[in-house]
Amino acid sequence: MSGWWFVGSLGEALFFASFFLVGVVCFTTIVAWQFLSPSTQVVRIGYGFWLLTTVSAACIVLGAVGFWYRVLKVATSDEHREVISQRGIVPRPKQPGTKSILPPSVPPLAPFTDSPGAKLAFRLPCEWKGTGALVAYGLFAMLWNAMMAVFCVFAIGGVLKGDIQYRLFALLIPGIYIGLRSGQLFLKSYIQAIGIGSTTLEIEDLPLIPGQTYKLLLVQYGRLVVKKLSIRLVCEEESTYHFGTDIRTEHQIVRQQIILDQGRFRIDWGRPLELECEISIPADAMHSFQSLHNAIHWKIIVEGEANRWPSYCRNFPVVVYPLARTSQLNQPS
């Protein structure tokens, strides 16, 4: 808490990753010596063997849990986690007694209203592929390097016994290279996630109604110098069709509106950027629509350009209800 957050987060993730690999090596070594090489038994079956096995397994579990806790913590903000732990404290908009009539082919509100905001009513879900890629890189690097650690234990054990397995060493060379490259790819993605930080967007009410104006709160975390930050409201048309034996999906932006265009500013750790603005839904806007082959999606897009970091784009889907059907929903039952 008193040091550089970037170094602390990176160092903590690497520490738990090393802890995991040490546990894998120790566990494999003990089991291999005990069961596969009876002549090299260091510890007999008993108190000492089970103690070392338990400690090695604990290192594996502790390293894996600590590593993924730190990795997943980077993708979410401290404010968001605090709000989730205090679910129900933030007041939601009061809904009068209404009929539960969902407009036809309009997406339900449940996926958009299940996360309360810190200052406004709802925190919008974020469609950012970076989290999935980060988890995929980390999972592959962890499993692959754990497998290489096990192979290295058997290879070194063979050398110590005078039985050099050349085929195993031939497989270890490209395997170790892949492990180093996968670790490098994960480390690069992790550093970018730490530096850019997470983006949260809160809105005062849902669903959105054509002709109405709503407050927005953008919170950008990280430590970076942003050259440009923009927020856009976009209406996108999606069409799925058959082309021969293939199924293709096309996306076309049919309407967009610039909500905010911010110039150069600096963000430091512990002091996230908070921007308040308003979003106006056009009176003649088409409502959200979802069918088997066609869809109308509304989303709020946050785009940023930063020094020393790649540009980033986060999408926050919203749902727009038709005005006529909304008036019917608000009639008391």
Q: Domain 78-121+198-329 is of which CATH architecture?
A: Sandwich (2.60)
Residue written as token pair 């007999």: 44
State the residue for tokens 């009539």.
Answer: 101
pLDDT at residue 94, as a whole number: 43
The rounded distance, in Å, linking the Cα atoms of 70 and 194 is 11
User: Which has the minimum average pLDDT: 90-99, 167-176, 247-256, 288-297?
Assistant: 90-99
Average pLDDT over residues 99-115: 72
pLDDT digits (tens, 9 = 90+) for 208-226: 999 899 999 998 887 788 8
As annotated, the residues of the chain forming the CATH 2.60.40.640 domain(s) are 78-121+198-329
The pTM score is 0.66
Name which of 58-62, 176-180, 188-192 the model is least confident about: 188-192
- The pLDDT of residue 233 is above 90: yes
E strands, 163-272, are: 199-203, 213-220, 224-243, 246-262, 265-267
Q: In terms of Cα–Cα distance, which of 308, 64, 50, 82 is closest to 200? A: 82
CA atoms in the 13 A half-sphere facing the CB of 221 = 19
Three-state DSSP state, 121: coil
Task: Give the other-Cβ count within 10 Å of 195's Cβ.
Answer: 17
> Is the pLDDT reported for residue 254 higher than 70?
yes
Q: Which of 131, 149, 151 is nearest to 139 (CA)?
A: 131
Contact 230, 260 (CB under 8 A): yes
Q: β-strand 213-220 against 122-123: which pairing, if any?
A: unpaired
26-83: per-residue pLDDT in tens? Answer: 888 877 776 665 555 555 555 667 788 888 888 888 888 888 887 777 655 554 555 4
Measure the CA–CA gap between 23 and 36, rounded to whole angstroms: 19
pLDDT tens sequence across 141-159 = 888 888 888 888 888 877 7
Task: Using the structure block, give the residue that is written with the tokens 């950008």.
Answer: 220
What share of the chain in percent tops pLDDT 70?
Answer: 79
Reply yes or no on whether the pLDDT at 241 is more than 50: yes
| pLDDT for res 301 | 92
